[in-house]
Amino acid sequence: MIKRKEGCLMKKILYGSMTGLALFLVAGCTSKTPTAVSSTNEQKETVISTTETSSSVQQEATTTSEKTSAVAVSLEKVTTAFEKKYPEAKITSLQLDTDFGRYFYEIEGVDQQKEYQVEVNAETGEFTKEKVETLDADEQNGVKMQEEALDLTNIISREQATTLAEKEAKVGQAADWKLEKELGITYWEVKVKEGQQKIEVKIDAHSGKILTTERDD
């Protein structure tokens, strides 16, 4: 009888120990759940913060002339914002234009499969228009990117291009700026206006050399 009681007692102790261990494991698993949720929340906040930074470009004042005083967003800022928004794309064309006194950037870019066209408010940095299209089959896989991607390293500034164009035109003020690429050369196309007269000056964006000058009287 004593041996049977001892056996029962040992079973109770063993059962109690296993029950305690199970409760400990359950408690341990439960305590990890809030940590995982917290980590997920932190990741969401980081994504939101990055999106907000890339969507709103920081403003930078320019003092080139009264006509371009509304251009608060620099070329460097707007290209950086585009590259953050489309990290796989390369810029193929960039234009600063005006519409009823409102300056805006028009940017085109491509990646391996798609073409992007956006419009950015030059005063606030807001992306106001966006268009995405699939490239033609013969333009995909880097073909158009290789042919048309601008080389924006160490280019002369818009202000420098303005000075060169106005000097070449001899009259008028620069009113429209465009960066493009042709025959492997990235160049500034600056339109200088004087009344009804328009002078289009193309300038090598790296050397500052005048490439062509066309007058439209």
Instruction: Inform me whether the pLDDT recorded for 118 exceeds 70.
Output: yes
- pTM for the predicted model, two decimal places: 0.68
Binned at pLDDT 50, 70 and 90, residue 100 comes out as: confident
Instruction: Inform me whether the pLDDT recorded for 175 exceeds 70.
Output: yes
Strands 173-182 and 127-134: unpaired
Q: Check if the beta carbon of residue 184 is closer than 8 Å to that of residue 214.
A: no
| Average pLDDT over every residue of 184-196 | 96
CATH number given to 66-216: 3.10.450.40
Q: Check if the beta carbon of residue 95 is closer than 8 Å to that of residue 119.
A: no
Q: Check if the beta carbon of residue 152 is closer than 8 Å to that of residue 186.
A: yes
Average pLDDT, rounded, for the chain: 78
| Average pLDDT over every residue of 41-66 | 34
| Average pLDDT over every residue of 176-193 | 97
| Average pLDDT over every residue of 68-81 | 87
Tens-place pLDDT, residues 10-47? 444 444 444 443 434 334 444 443 333 333 333 332 22
Task: Name the residue ranges covered by the structural domains of the chain.
Answer: 1-55, 66-216
